[in-house]
A = this chain, B = another copy of it.
Amino acid sequence: MTDTLRGLFAAEPVSRHFGDAALIAAMARFEAALAHALADAGIAPRAAAERIAACCAALEPVGPFDPAVLAPAARRAGTLAIPFVRALTGAVARDDPAAARWVHWGATSQDVIDTALALQSDAAGHELLAELTRIGDVLALLADSHRQTMMTGRTLLQPAAPVAFGWKVAVWLAPLPRLRMRLALALEDLRVIQFGGAAGTRAALGGAGDAVAGALAARLELADPGIAWHATRDRVGRLGAELALAAGALAHIGRDLSLLMQGEVGEVFEPSGEGRGGSSAMPHKRNPVGSMLALQAGLRAPGLAATLLAQQAGEHERGLGTWQADWWTLGGLFECAGSAAAAIGETLDGLRVDAAAMRTNLQRTRGFVHAEAVTVALAATLGRPQAQALMEQVCTEALERGIELSEALDALLQTDPTLVGAVPADVRARLFDPAAQQGDAGAMIDRTIAAWRAG
């Protein structure tokens, strides 16, 4: 809403594509390309097109194109396109009144607004995909290099069973190939011109509409969508949902990092550095600021995505109030995803992993994280129901006496004659060794990295 806030919850390189300057430049690109497309189709003189295009290329956000001048006029008109086109027509007319007649020819306000949205989304999406790719590559390396770094797996915020940190990282990585692919598809869907004129049928151009549209699309390197999408906003809604999912996947990493960075856990640390994550009251603090930014983005995105999903049922050929703020809301979603990507990218680059702390925490569970393994070992000879009942007993004993689970188990195995041989010696030897309880983690890491690299 204001530049200060923008700097706090937005980040380059994504955010620059949704600023004032980017919007005006994208609108100018549309008008320049349209003028040339009209010339391509033999409607406008090429010289007029060149004049218009030159004017668009030279356009600066000052004078009549100053956002502060355009904004109130846009509010009165109900669309930015009207004052913008008027300013552009005036600018062209100063040098060449004959050329000015071809400005915006055959187009309606929403054509330039929506095509600008498509151009801006394309540019911002390109940057975001690059950032996601960089993050995925870092995660793949982390996953691969921490295959044997055993730590406490935690479910429902309770210690569950041992996992490798590399496997945990692979879980973070797992949705990224889908995200990248689906985000690319959603961006592809929106990589289209909007060009329909008054009601969407290109009637103003007689039979030449398709030819102009084809040339316009080619010049902007966008597709021609077959039919006007003034009133069907699924492209925008779907892209918004993908951006929210991207923010969510990054927030998920931020969630885990910030939990692992708790004082009592201390297993990973965000990078520190000049001015990073400080506190105005507590000089010692190193706040997980990268995680915070990602979590904040993940919290803001769903409401924005819901706004776009709620704008699908606009009235008739162009709705009232349902699409007018799409660039605002979609821009907000790009900011969320871009801010989260920048924050997590920077965090992962400097992440410090404390394998010793992970090991220590694992040991501090007093063996309870091996409960599943013990149950399975018992169940192999006793069956699951009896094994579970037995383990309830062993766990209760260990909890009440404050002893290691292994100690409680051995006590039971030795005192109950019916349990002789219930756990063979070689099985017992590996029962409380985290590294022996990796299951298919290695193969899962392999598959996840392969899926990422194949994506």
Contacts and interface: CB of A to CB of B under 8 A. Distances in A.
Interface residues of A, number: 204
B309 A241 contact: yes
A147 B285 CA distance: 26
- Nearest first, the 4 A-B pairs at minimum CB distance are A7-B71, A248-B312, A101-B383, A295-B321
A134 interface: no
A319 B248 CA distance: 14
A333 B4 CA distance: 18
Contacts of A139: none
A7 B385 CA distance: 26
B252 A312 contact: yes
A182 B181 CA distance: 12
A1 B18 contact: yes
Interface stretch (A79-87, A348-356, A415-423): A79-87
Interface string A233-266: 0110110011011011101101110110111110
B157 A315 contact: yes
A384 B157 contact: no
Given A295-B313, A299-B321, A226 B101 contact: no
20 contacts: A3-B71, A5-B20, A8-B71, A77-B278, A77-B289, A78-B277, A101-B382, A101-B383, A153-B201, A155-B317, A158-B285, A168-B317, A170-B227, A201-B440, A202-B439, A237-B245, A241-B305, A251-B312, A258-B320, A291-B321
The complex is assembled from copies of this chain, and their number is 4
A441 to B, nearest CB: 4
B227 A447 contact: yes
Given A264-B264, A301-B309, A383-B101, A155 B318 contact: yes
A13 interface: no
Contacts of A132: none
Nearest to A300: B307
A163 interface: yes
Contacts of A18: 1-2
